[in-house]
Structure 1
Amino acid sequence: MARKKRIKIYSSNGKKALLLSPEEITIVKNDPSYEKNYEIEFNKGKQAFEVRNYYAIGFWKDLLFVLIGAFLSTIAIDYFISITGNAGLFPGGLGAIARFLSIIGANNITISASTLYFIVYFIMNIPLVIFGFIKIGWKFSTLTLIYSIISIFFDLILQNIPYINPNEFSLLIDYNLISSLPGAWGAIIWIFAFAIFGGMINGFSYSITYKGNASTGGSDWVTYYYSKKLNKDIGSLNIKINIFILFIVICLNTIILKTQHIDQTIKLSAIYNEYNSWNELINSDLGKALDPILSAEDKVSIDLFNSWKNLQTGNWNNEDWFNISKYISSSSEYDSYYTSTLVWKMKFKWIIGPSLFASLTLIITQGLTVNRLYPKNKILNLFISTNKINEVQQYLFSVGYTNNIFIWRTVASKKNAWNDQEQDLIMISMPLLYFNKIEDYLIKIDEDMIINIIGSKAVKGKNFSYTFDNELREKALTEEFMNNGKLMKKIESNTIIKTHKKMKKNGVSIQNEV
């Protein structure tokens, strides 16, 4: 009797093997669990294939962008935002909440507010990271997670470098020193300077990170998801949400803010308008604390002594009271004598004071910088002259291009050429950012290709897509994967081994393992 031909089947790692005849393989494939096991192995293999392709082609470039973006963002936070103190600048969105919590935490634990900011921001992003892996995709989510983690390490490095750490070195000016000096107009001007420079650096950081197919976290997760899902830009809504969060955070920060951190001009305005007569002033705790000092000529300047004396004699006038109010507001010595009503008036004025408007300046400057460097809504019309029209079309569809492709059969005539040459002219429209990603690959299809690029002022119509279709890219990836015979053979072998093992466990014996 002739011996049956047997086929040796190896698993993908080369360790596990079966020796089965063609008839036995057919029995395994007809088992009800085979189809389900094949689907599991197919999806696992396809994901591994996508990961390998990405790491071989684009990951390291994206990672470099993310690292540069994280470093610049750390510079902006450490040297321009956190350095402005508890009553200083706040970034927008989730970052504003993280900064508020870091201010509270830094008062209770021995860690810098900027380091605590990055840690709190990372913790707040954990639920959004999970959301991103489920709803957006592993590439975007992985790189965004790397951005959040690496920012913490960059901050720890900068905080511990002698001489150039944010506490010892200032890129513009020592803001803490300026803000502590009498006459607060200098501090107000400088907080806006810090907002402009910090916004520019942060905007540059965000642009670099976006070009690396990642984000800075926070509300970017939701914005990215819904802009893809709804096929439209919802950046304006995101800005409104960020500004609303900023306003709420500044209100909360003002509630816990100590009077010593409130700007001098705001304190001056509140104190000056609080008292209108000598009796009202002298009967208050503040007046009783001032009287022993301002009544002694040897303890204060002659101008303050004379102003206090004029008020004391009943000659209440605005000029003398302004001098006294200015003296009171320039020092925190009398903060404990303010009434609760006066303190709340100061805080109410502070809500719409320098911190809010400087923070808005930061957000606006950041947004303008991002729009300039990362023009995600700029549309290009591309006229492509090529002899490989089918390859170009196939590539465009494979990357998820869904807008119309207009094709003309043309004749290209060149001077001194023996014959006119027939070429196809393709016209397509897509956002600039997507063209930047596919330009190099597109030109490789046809080295003689000529691309004429024309900017589009606007696009009207609901059928125009501002994004590439992930489903089309997924379909193209699946086709490429299925055309790889070696990989498909491995999937089939793994499925046979897995199904055979389950059949054996259930008591259905076909053939022993080798």
Structure 2
Amino acid sequence: MSSPVTNLKILKRKKLLRKLHSENVNNLKLIELDKEDIDLRKYFGDDLMANLRMANYSYYSDSANKRKKNVRKRTAILYAKRVFFLFIAALIFNFGVIAFLNRGDTLPSGLSGFPMLAVLIAKDKGYRDWDKYFALMFILINLPLLIGFGFKVKRSFTILTAVFMISQLITNAIFTSIPQVHNFIHNYINIAPGWHKLVEFRDKAGNIIGTYENASSWPIIINGFLGSICAGTSIAIAWKNGGSTGGTDIIAYYFSTKKQKSVAGMMFTVNIIATSFFLLVFGIAAKHKEAVDLGVISSSSSVENVLEQPNSIIITLKDGFNINSIKKYVSHRTIFGLREFSTILYIIFNNIVLGLMYPKYKKVTLSIATKCPDAILNYFKHIKYWHAYTIFKGISGYSQEETYFIETTLLTLESKNIISDIKVIDPKAWISIRPVEQVKGAFNTKYVEE
């Protein structure tokens, strides 16, 4: 026999269940009476609403909510995160330049090619410490663009781009001004230990009698490839967080938003033009040197010793031998070599990485098959879904049951959150995704512009 306490608990539980049932019935009546102005929280419940990404985006981006305390707090956190990731982007970019691109004489595309060009030409003339001025030169070369285009594009984009450039100045100082960091990169992050691009010949007195390029040049390609991965990743992170790495990115942003074209495609066009100019200047100001086969010449009877220095290999000749003694090991000067080839590869890989990580205007069509169309349509109404969609009814060939199809075209960057929300609302929904090559007519891109 149950105790009075147990019976009391059961009665309270039944009373609570009747109350909840009554509330649910009333909510359902309200939904049926007014489907056009539905409260999604009543329809889906608070727990489900918390998992709807686009519903949260719609709430926080609504201008009517901008003065609310929770929205202001979320905006402050969002921009703090963006500043942090822009600093990370600057860290990756400068690391790629110092650890890889400098070693391979690879020219970055865009306006960053100007300071890099200055660094490489200075290095060719014997000034080895110019990489510490890279970020400063980069900021100076960007100022005219920021002033010229800064007022024609979104203000937050200009500010966040400036944040990236300031971060680049800081990270460049970390990599070049702190000896422990600089030495660590030079000694421990090296895909070809012992390899150097330049080979210097000296007499017994220590005088330089000839400087040549190392004929073994495969590390140039690897350094260029790794540098392009770093740069592409850095650029994509900057774009995804509302800014850019500056330079021709600002021009690409202006025209890509005006024409709603792919950022990677627009940057590829601008960068090819800029890099062609840089290669021409580099080819004139810092011509290729004649090359020597280090493996062959090191075992020559004319060589006294071989010494590795931070920026070159030094070969001292024995007494009685001069530079003419090693001429038979010297090959002709090249015009188009691996440094030029790696620069072109840099542009290609850079744009591939950017296109994969940040396909800004790439579009897809979603086809959603569902037996619960009301839930999905009310979700669209709640988030004020900004793209057109079509609804049609059909019969499933597999189950012979009535099925509704909802089809819409949207941006690839929007699709992930939309699909996630639909799977929360209707776990049994079947969704197919098709790429879209081109659309004609107006297309709302506010999601990637905010």
2:85 corresponds to which of 41, 50, 65: 65
* d(CA) in 2 for partners of 1:112, 1:439: 52
Deviations 1:152-184 (A, max 9, x none): 211211221516444554332357735327885
Which among 447, 451, 459 is matched to residue 437 of structure 2? 459
- 1:359 Cα deviation from its structure 2 partner: 0.9
Which of 429, 445, 450 lines up with 1:468 in the alignment? 445
In 1, the alpha carbon distance for the partners of 2:346 and 2:143 equals: 26
Q: Quote the residue 2:341 is aligned against.
A: 357
Query: Following superposition of structure 1 onto structure 2, how do residues 404-419 of structure 1 map, counting pairs within 5 Å?
Result: 404-408=388-392
Matches within 5 A, 1:161-200: 161-162=179-180, 164-174=183-193, 177-180=196-199, 184=213, 187-200=216-229
**In 1, are the aligned partners of 2:263 and 2:359 still within 8 Å (CA)?**
no
Gaps in structure 1 of 5+ consecutive residues: 1-43, 268-296, 306-322, 331-345, 475-514
Deviations 1:248-272 (A, max 9, x none): 1122223332x6xx333499xxxxx
Compared CA separation, residues 209 and 298, structure 1 to 2 (3 A): closer
- How far, CA to CA, are the matches of 1:112 and 1:450 in structure 2? 62
SS at match of 1:180: strand
Q: Percent identity?
A: 19
Structure 2 residue runs of 5 or longer lacking an equivalent are 1-62, 202-211, 294-317
5 Å-filtered alignment, 1:339-378, equals 349-350=334-335, 352-376=336-360, 378=362
Aligned to 1:78, what secondary structure does the other structure show? helix
Aligned amino acid, residue 201 of structure 1: C
Seen in structure 2, the aligned counterparts of structure 1 residues 453 and 137 have a Cα distance that, compared at 3 Å, is farther
Among 393, 400, 408, which residue is 2:380 paired with? 393
Distance apart, 1:70 and its partner CA: 1.9
Q: Does structure 2 conserve the Cα–Cα contact (< 8 Å) formed by 1:203 and 1:369?
A: yes
Provide the C-alpha distance between the structure 1 equivalents of 2:83 and 2:164, rounded to a whole number of angstroms: 9
- Structure 1 pair 64/358, CA: closer, same or farther in 2 (3 Å)? same
Aligned to 1:74: 94
Number of matched pairs? 346
The question of 1:243 aligning with 2:272 is answered: yes
- 1:177-217 CA-to-partner distances (Å, cap 9, x unmatched) read 35327885554211111011111222222222222232221
Q: Which amino acid aligns with 1:454?
A: S
Residues 217-226 or 96-105, more deviating: 96-105
Q: 1:395 to 1:68 in 2, by over 3 A?
A: farther
Aligned ranges 1:207-286 → 2 under 5 Å: 207-233=236-262, 235-257=264-286, 262-265=288-291
Take 2:238 and 2:429, find their aligned partners in 1: how far apart are those partners? 28
Q: Deviations over 1:61-110 (max 9, x none)?
A: 433432332221121011011244xxx11011111122123456789999
Whole-Å separation in 2 of the counterparts to 1:462 and 1:228: 16
CA distance, structure 1, for counterparts of residue 242 and residue 97 of structure 2:
22
Report the Cα distance in structure 2 between the residues aligned to 1:371 and 1:53, rounded to whole angstroms: 32
Q: Secondary structure at the match of 1:248?
A: helix
SS of structure 2 residue aligned to 1:162: helix
Q: Is the 8 A contact 1:387 1:424 kept in 2?
A: no
The answer as to 2:168 corresponding to 1:151 is yes
Secondary structure, aligned partner of 1:427: strand
Contact 1:69–1:204 (CA<8 Å) still a contact in 2? Answer: yes
1:139 aligns with 2:156: yes
Asked if the contact 1:115/1:152 (under 8 Å) is kept, the reply is: no
Separation (CA, whole Å) in 1 of partners of 2:141 and 2:391: 50
Of the candidates 316, 320, 323, which is equivalent to residue 299 of structure 1? 320
SS in 2 for 1:154: helix
Amino acid at match of 2:274: I
Equivalent residue for 1:205, pick from 231, 234, 238: 234
Verify: 1:126 aligned to 2:147, yes or no. Answer: no
Pair 1:448–1:99, CA change in 2 (3 A)? same
Give the SS at the match of 1:192: helix
8 Å Cα contact 2:233-2:354 kept in structure 1: yes
AA matched with 1:392? Y
Cα distance, 1:136 vs structure 2: 2.2
Counterpart contact for 2:231–2:350, Cα < 8 Å: yes
Instruction: Sort the Cα spacing of 1:433 and 1:409 in 2 relative to 1 into closer, same or farther, 3 A.
Output: same
Higher strand share: 2
Write out per-residue CA displacement over residues 409-464 of structure 1, whole angstroms, 9 at most, x where no aligned residue: 7899xx9xxxx9x9975322222223346666x569x7446665433243344126
CA 1:356/1:107 → structure 2, altered by over 3 Å: closer, same or farther? closer
Contact 1:65 1:211 in 2 (8 A): no
CA distance in structure 1 between the aligned counterparts of 2:153 and 2:425, rounded to whole angstroms: 35
Matches of 1:298 and 1:153, distance apart in 2: 49
Q: Pick closer, same or farther for the CA change 1:129–1:176 going to 2, 3 Å.
A: farther
- Please identify, of 352-361 and 182-191, the stretch whose mean Cα deviation from structure 2 is larger: 182-191
Q: Which amino acid aligns with 1:468?
A: T
Which residue identity lines up with residue 158 of structure 2 in the other structure? S
Contact 1:93 1:246 in 2 (8 A): yes
SS at match of 1:392: helix
Q: Distance in 2 between matches of 1:70 and 1:461?
A: 35
CA-based RMSD: 4.4
| Conserved? CA contact 2:102–2:120, under 8 Å | no
Matched AA of 1:354: L
Superposition TM-score, scaled by structure 2 size: 0.62
Superposition deviation, residue 375 in structure 1: 3.5
Distance verdict in 2 for CA 1:106–1:219, change over 3 Å: same
Q: Which moved more, 1:212-221 or 1:132-141?
A: 132-141
Per-residue CA shift, 1:376-428, capped at 9, x if unaligned? 45433334555445653345546xx34x211347899xx9xxxx9x9975322
